């Protein structure tokens, strides 16, 4: 039992939170292993930030428990929890220098000057910001501020690192770089990490597992590949990646009327200029270059399909044959085949 608890990074059991008379989180369960990195992914208002704030201690759940490294911290305030948070807008104190920002939690803990200085230097070295230690946060770039916030969290050596939409204020290029930096640091330090994001690309590329949230509940908690290839619910299928969605049944490669919902990933459509098994004819309506692949919109007699291809690139107006390689079938929103 002790071994299990020692290996436990974070455990949420039956979490519930009501805010302003509205149920925000309903009976939420989640557990993650020590050293794992997970994402809470969902649209605005799905309850992911509320969940993170309950883990951090800024909100006390109305029901349920929060355990960090096997220890129940449900009723502890944020100052007493073994977690550290990186805020969406970094929350660096503008009246303190970078090194004072990072040293703050150590001073609060009462560490000596020499030890504090050593740890601050190590943390700033970790995020490659030693040259900015005497700068004010207002004088450094957004990406650098983000790294200072990360250093301030890491210097606390928390059991759980919490990241609240840490990349949302960065431009696309910087976001990718910082994302890789965070992942690399997390792997190197083996720190249990929860990241909140509404950006599916960010969640899928950075996490060991992703919890897709909807209306205060976790729809599916799985690894990125599984989420994409085997979305357990129709919501997850439409939320993660692109999807051709049809109401009806799939019979011999054709959508016919029926009670199911059929989902087809655009890359699961095979285009060709020649007729082959189960391929049905269609006319190309749109061809959009998407960098390393093309998005092709084809009208078939049973519907309009969006396909991703980088092999056969037809022209607009061209007649092509479309074959459905793989599909997902949902009944009442649940995956049945």
Partner 1 sequence: MRSLLRRTGKEGSLANNGSGSSLFGFALSLPPLLLVLGFVGIPILIGFTFSLGFTKGPNRVIAIIGQQIHPKTHWWGTFAAYSDVFHDSRFVGDLVLTLAVTAISTVLVIVIALAIALHQRLVGGRTASVLATLSIVPLFVPVVISAWAIHTFYGGDGFMRSFFANIGINFPTLTSTSTAIVIGSVWTSLPFSILMISSGVQAVPDALIESAKDCGASTLKVISTVVVPLAQTPIIIAGSFTAIGIMGSFTIPLFLGPNQPTMLGVEISNFFGSYNRPQQSLVMAFIVFLAASGIAVLYIWSNVKSAKENGRI
Candidate list 45, 64, 78, 258; residue touching partner 1; CB under 8 A = 78
Q: Please give the sequence-ordered ranges of beta strands (E in DSSP) within the chain, or none if there are none.
A: 8-19, 22-33, 37-41, 63-68, 71-72, 83-86, 160-164, 192-197, 209-214, 217-222, 244-251, 254-264, 269-272, 280-289, 294-300, 303-309, 319-324, 328-331, 334-335
113 part of the interface to partner 1, by CB under 8 A: no
Q: Number of C-alpha atoms within 13 angstroms, CB side, residue 311? A: 7
Candidate list 2, 22, 80, 188; residue touching partner 1; CB under 8 A = 80
Residue 147: CB minimum distance to partner 1, A: 15
77 part of the interface to partner 1, by CB under 8 A: yes
Q: Token pair 């770089």 is at which residue? A: 177
- Phi/psi region, residue 45 (left: phi>0; alpha: psi -120 to 50; beta: rest), is left
The answer to whether the beta carbons of residues 336 and 329 sit under 8 Å apart is yes
93 part of the interface to partner 1, by CB under 8 A: yes
Main-chain phi, psi angles of 220, to 5 degrees? -155, 140
Residue 215: CB minimum distance to partner 1, A: 25
Candidate list 31, 65, 88, 168; residue touching partner 1; CB under 8 A = 88
CA distance 172 to 296: 25
Candidate list 31, 35, 58, 283; residue touching partner 1; CB under 8 A = 58
152 part of the interface to partner 1, by CB under 8 A: yes
CA distance 59 to 47: 12
Task: Pick the stretch among 31-39, 76-84, 217-225, 328-336 that binds partner 1 (CB under 8 A).
Answer: 76-84
Candidate list 49, 73, 104, 196; residue touching partner 1; CB under 8 A = 104
Residue 109: CB minimum distance to partner 1, A: 6
10 part of the interface to partner 1, by CB under 8 A: no
Tell me the per-residue interface mask from 154 to 193 with partner 1, x by CB under 8 A, - otherwise: --x-------------------------------------
136 part of the interface to partner 1, by CB under 8 A: yes
224's enclosing H/E stretch is helix 224-229
94 part of the interface to partner 1, by CB under 8 A: yes
CA distance 32 to 49: 18
27-56: which residues touch partner 1 (CB under 8 A)?
Answer: 56
Query: Torsion over CA of 107, 183, 204 and 86, rounded to 10 degrees?
Result: 10
State the residues that interact with partner 1 by CB under 8 A: 56-58, 77-80, 83-85, 87-89, 91-95, 104-105, 108-109, 136, 138-139, 152, 156
């Amino acid at each position: 039992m002790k071994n299990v608890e020692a290996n436990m990074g974070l455990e949420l059991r039956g979490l519930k939170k009501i805010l302003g008379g509205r149920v925000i989180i309903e009976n939420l369960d989640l557990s993650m292993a020590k050293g794992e990195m997970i994402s809470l992914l969902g649209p605005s208002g799905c309850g992911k930030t509320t969940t993170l704030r309950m883990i951090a201690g800024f909100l006390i759940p109305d029901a349920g428990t929060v355990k960090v490294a096997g220890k129940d911290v449900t009723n502890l305030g944020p100052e007493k929890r073994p977690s550290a948070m990186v805020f969406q807008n970094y929350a660096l104190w503008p009246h303190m220098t970078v090194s004072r920002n990072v040293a703050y939690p150590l001073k609060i803990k009462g560490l000596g000057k020499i030890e504090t200085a050593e740890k601050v230097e190590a943390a700033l070295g970790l995020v490659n910001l030693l040259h900015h230690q005497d700068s004010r946060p207002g004088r450094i770039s957004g990406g650098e501020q983000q790294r200072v916030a990360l250093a301030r969290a890491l210097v606390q050596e928390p059991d759980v690192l919490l990241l609240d939409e840490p990349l949302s204020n960065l431009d696309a290029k910087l976001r990718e770089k910082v994302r890789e930096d965070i992942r690399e640091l997390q792997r190197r330090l083996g720190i249990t990490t929860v990241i909140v994001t509404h950006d599916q690309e960010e969640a899928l590329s950075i996490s060991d597992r992703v919890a897709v949230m909807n209306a205060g509940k976790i729809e599916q908690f799985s690894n990125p590949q599984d989420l994409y290839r085997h979305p357990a619910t129709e919501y997850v299928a439409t939320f993660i990646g692109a999807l051709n969605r049809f109401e009806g049944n799939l019979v011999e490669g054709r959508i016919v009327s029926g009670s199911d919902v059929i989902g087809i990933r655009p890359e699961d459509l095979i285009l060709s200029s020649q007729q082959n098994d189960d391929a049905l004819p269609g006319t190309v309506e749109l061809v959009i270059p998407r960098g390393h692949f093309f998005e092709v919109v084809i009208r078939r007699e049973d519907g309009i399909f969006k396909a991703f291809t980088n092999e056969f690139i037809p022209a607009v107006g061209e007649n092509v044959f479309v074959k459905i390689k793989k599909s997902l079938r949902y009944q009442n929103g649940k995956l049945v085949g």
